[in-house]
């Protein structure tokens, strides 16, 4: 498949950004002084009747978000930006077919989002671009008076994490990482069970992303055009937030506890090289590529309260899709994939129960309220609930479910795991992106639509 000139220019610019980020990743970033201290209460912006959105990056995931927003009350898609003009036009048509005015189109090159942020009258800029563009898009949005939302991870370096925090505090804007797995039905059921005290005091949790992405990484379109490059540059946990986000909520991370330090270890790098040898002919450039990303990465995190968390990453080897979802307390535990529960004194002694035995009693209220609306949306409906919640919080002037401190803390695992691996699994401290506010910010509650 031929790559047009605009896409080649995009890839060159993206590569430069990756290189710039990696050059800084070898040393721990110093904590910058706060441009404007956040308040003791979680940030909430003024309520708004309608949320005008500019979408940056409308490939597979970005276009899915556009379609979700077209079904969320109080949303207008006002601008679309992508390096591929045909994708912009397709989403403009989707918006007008839904009965909204045609959004402005931006497709002049990889940095045309800056023109969008500078010229459009928007409330929110939402990026579903390759990872290296998340920080530039979000900071451009906030500098220009817009709230920001980004796909995962929010940043790939500690410098990038601090940039998001500093801009959000200085400009008093939301900067939200859209971690959809926080809104999956089993994860939200477990969060409800934790809040109801079924597991007792939570002492340990585990999360992970275990997904054979070899075909996607070597594709001639979509993520294949950029994601494989990260495996040539970084060795750590490149994609921690799907597994970590839901269990971090159960442990009240940034709301009573925080990540203190981690240790990380990677195994050998074999999967991508073997895949290239098996799927590309002699002389193909893919067969000559060199990768440093260990096929399996294991990371351990200790929190300020002494609790422990495991985070796994495995995307280069043959396997069925799975995530790790494990929450262990003093009275029982949940263990995902398959989803099962054990509660001391309630479950049969030393025997697992299936999750469905608890669904009627502990299904999260958001799923009870929104399961019909979410039906058919991306990733089993959790993408719709995620998008719905963001808009509801903005329209009602509420703190968002996840905030910039969560975006920074969860995304920091990318950089810090790489540092620990390079130091023979030596411990690496997390910055306190909240600057102490984790002690006073209240835990997340049980919410309804």
pLDDT at 25: 35
> What digits encode the pLDDT tens for the residues 351-381?
999 999 999 999 999 999 999 999 999 999 9
Question: Does residue 200 contact residue 257 with C-beta atoms inside 8 Å?
Answer: no
Phi and psi angles of residue 264, each rounded to the nearest 5 degrees, phi first: -145, 145
> What digits encode the pLDDT tens for the residues 221-273?
999 999 999 999 999 999 999 999 999 999 999 999 999 999 999 999 999 99
pLDDT at 38: 52
Residue 387, judged by CB atoms within 10 A of its CB (0-12, 13-18, 19+), counts as buried
Cα-Cα end-to-end distance for the chain = 44
CA gap 309, 256 in Å, rounded: 16
Q: Which domains does the chain have, with CATH numbers?
A: 47-177 (3.40.50.720), 182-364+404-439 (3.30.360.10)
> Mean pLDDT over all residues of the chain?
93
**Alpha-carbon distances, residue 248 vs 203, 245, 258, 323, 442 (angstroms):** 12, 5, 9, 15, 14
CA gap 447, 449 in Å, rounded: 7
Q: Judge whether residue 33 has pLDDT over 50.
A: no
CA gap 17, 12 in Å, rounded: 9
Please state the pTM of the whole predicted model.
0.92
Choose among 261, 255, 210, 222: nearest CA to 430: 261
């Amino acid at each position: 498949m031929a790559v047009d000139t605009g896409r080649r220019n995009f890839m060159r610019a993206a590569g430069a950004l990756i290189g710039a980020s990696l050059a800084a990743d070898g040393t721990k970033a110093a904590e910058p002084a706060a441009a404007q201290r956040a308040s003791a209460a979680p940030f909430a912006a003024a309520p708004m009747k309608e949320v005008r959105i500019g979408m940056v990056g409308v490939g597979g995931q970005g276009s899915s978000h556009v379609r979700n927003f077209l079904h969320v009350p109080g949303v207008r898609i006002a601008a679309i930006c992508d390096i591929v003009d045909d994708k912009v036009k397709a989403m403009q048509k989707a918006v007008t077919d839904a009965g909204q005015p045609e959004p402005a189109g931006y497709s002049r090159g990889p940095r045309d989002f800056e023109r969008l942020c500078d010229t459009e009258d928007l409330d929110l800029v939402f990026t579903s671009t390759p990872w290296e563009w998340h920080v530039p898009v979000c900071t451009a949005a906030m500098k220009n008076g817009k709230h920001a939302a980004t796909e995962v991870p929010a940043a790939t370096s500690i410098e990038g994490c601090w940039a998001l925090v500093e801009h959000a505090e200085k400009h008093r804007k939301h900067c939200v990482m859209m971690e959809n797995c926080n809104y999956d039905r089993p994860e939200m059921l477990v969060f409800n069970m934790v809040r109801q005290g079924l597991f007792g005091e939570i002492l340990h949790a585990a999360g992970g992303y275990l997904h054979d992405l070899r075909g996607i990484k070597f594709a001639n379109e979509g993520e294949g055009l950029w994601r494989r490059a990260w495996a040539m540059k970084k060795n750590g946990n490149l994609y921690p937030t799907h597994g970590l986000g839901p269990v971090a909520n159960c442990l009240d991370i940034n709301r009573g506890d925080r990540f203190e330090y981690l240790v990380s270890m990677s195994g050998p790098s074999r999967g991508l090289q073997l895949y290239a040898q098996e799927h590309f002919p002699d002389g193909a450039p893919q067969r000559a590529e060199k990768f440093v990303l260990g096929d399996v990465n294991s990371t351990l995190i200790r929190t300020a309260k002494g609790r422990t968390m495991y985070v796994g990453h495995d995307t280069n080897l043959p396997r069925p899709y799975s995530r790790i979802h494990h929450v262990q307390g003093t009275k029982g535990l949940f263990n995902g994939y398959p989803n099962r529960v054990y509660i001391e004194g309630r479950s049969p002694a030393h025997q697992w129960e299936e999750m469905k035995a608890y669904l009627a009693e502990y299904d999260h209220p958001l799923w009870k309220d929104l399961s019909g609306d979410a039906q058919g949306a991306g990733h089993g409906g959790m993408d719709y609930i995620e998008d719905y919640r963001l808009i509801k919080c903005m329209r009602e002037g509420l703190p968002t479910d996840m905030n910039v401190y969560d975006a920074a803390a969860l995304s920091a695992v990318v950089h810090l795991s790489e540092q620990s691996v390079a130091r023979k699994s030596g411990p690496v401290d997390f910055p306190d992106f909240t600057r102490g506010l984790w002690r006073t910010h209240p835990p997340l509650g049980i919410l309804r639509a």
